[in-house]
Structure 1
Amino acid sequence: MNEIMSKLLSQEEELQFASFTNEDALQLGLLIVEIAKAEFEKGIAVHIENDEHPLFTHYMKGTSQGNRYWIHTKKNVVNHYGNSSLYVGEMFKDKGTTFKESSDLPESDYQGEGGSFPITVRGQGKVGTVTVTGLTGEEDHYLAVEGIRKYLSRK
């Protein structure tokens, strides 16, 4: 396991909720949009869902139909592997290959690119996903993580 993977797993361990409600999803989504507006000049799309259904979706100005594809494919990676989509992509790189070459999953439904992060409740496990798209995979990941970090610090 490389240094990047260790850091990403540390984030997943650190950024866990005591509980996660529909109201948490709304407030987290709005916070991520606020951070994106303050720190980036480009629009993003944010999608938050529990393991049952969508709870928050917002497409900022400048997003497109393509953002739907990236939300779908990145969150599917988190749901399949249980880790952030950036971690999964790094996991394949660490093995000397790529997600595309070696995952045996269809590109139409899975992409090992950064931007989707598991929503985890301590003692319960993964209960959903937060997905950001519109920037680089690393920037999308940063927005998801920074949003969760700031949200948890307010609670």
Structure 2
Amino acid sequence: MSAQDDIAVVKRQEAELVLPAFDEAVAFDIGAAIRKRALEEGLSLVVDIRTWDRQLFFAATPGTSADNAEWVRRKVNSVKRFQRASYRLVLERGEEPFSVQSGADPADYVIAGGGFPIRVPGAGIIGALTISGLPGRKDHGVAVDALCDHLGRERSDFALPEASS
């Protein structure tokens, strides 16, 4: 699958994995499910779910560090500024840091997978679900899987294919 094919899949994920409503209870349900999966599968990750003005859920599993929370902060900033999944930025631009001329200081923004926009009908993108700790494509996949599960959608209908080595 080409990068253009992957971009089309991510755009579809962004357009269709829309939450009918979002509040503290929804954030907790999604976040707790991600944490449970991570513990069951031995995944070292951090999950952060937030609206633009406040964090609603945060959990870290064994093997993570403060660096993961810092990656989350920068991924969230990228999702908010560019209004798209941070993994789509990787596919569109590559993983080179933003240039100084872009105004997106690499200290505050990152091109790395794992940040996914939380979209609500009638409100648009209101926050982000962000994963850090795995390779970027897998971080992205964990977020997408969690939204599929919460929405009762089939994971395989939205999954990116395994990356070729």
Asked if these proteins are the same fold (TM beyond 0.5), I'd say yes
Q: Which amino acid aligns with 2:97?
A: K
- Could you tell me how far 1:127 is from its partner in structure 2? 1.0
- Distance in 2 (CA, whole Å) between partners of 1:6 and 1:37 is 31
What CA distance in whole angstroms lies between the structure 1 residues aligned with 2:51 and 2:131? Answer: 15
Instruction: Please list, as runs of the form range in 1=range in 2, the aligned pairs for 1:30-49 lying within 5 A after superposition.
Output: 30-39=32-41, 41-49=42-50
Deviations 1:67-97 (A, max 9, x none): 111101111100000000000121113xxxx
CA displacement, residues 38-69 of structure 1 (integer Å, 9 cap, x when unaligned): 34x33110000012200000111111011111
Aligned: 1:145 with 2:147: no
Contact 1:35–1:147 (CA under 8 A) maintained in structure 2: no
**CA displacement at 1:37 relative to structure 2:** 2.7
The structural deviation recorded for 1:153 is 1.1
Indicate conservation of the 8 Å contact 2:46/2:61, yes or no: yes
Which one of the candidate residues 87, 94, 97 is aligned to 1:100? 97
SS in 2 for 1:126: strand
Query: What's 2:112 paired with?
Result: 113
Q: Which residue of 1 aligns with 2:130?
A: 131
Is residue 2 from structure 1 mapped to residue 15 from structure 2 by the alignment?
A: no
TM-score normalized by structure 2?
0.84
In the alignment, what sits opposite 1:20? 22
After TM superposition, the structure 1 stretch with the greater mean CA deviation from structure 2, 98-107 or 56-65, is: 98-107
Measure the CA separation in 1 of the matches of 2:12 and 2:65.
33
Q: How many residues align?
A: 149
Amino acid paired to 1:126: I
SS at match of 2:152: helix
Sequence identity (%): 30
Question: Counterpart of 1:83?
Answer: 84
Distance 1:119 1:100, change over 3 A: same
Contact 1:74–1:85, Cα closer than 8 Å, also in 2: yes
Point out where structure 2 has 5 or more consecutive residues left out of the alignment.
154-165
The runs of 4+ residues in structure 1 deviating greater than 6 Å are: none
> What is the TM-score with the length of structure 1 in the denominator?
0.89
Gaps of 5+ in 1: none
Q: Could you say what secondary structure the match of 1:149 adopts?
A: helix
Matched, 1:29 2:26: no
Secondary structure of the residue that 1:2 maps to in structure 2? helix
State the SS of the aligned residue for 2:97.
Answer: helix
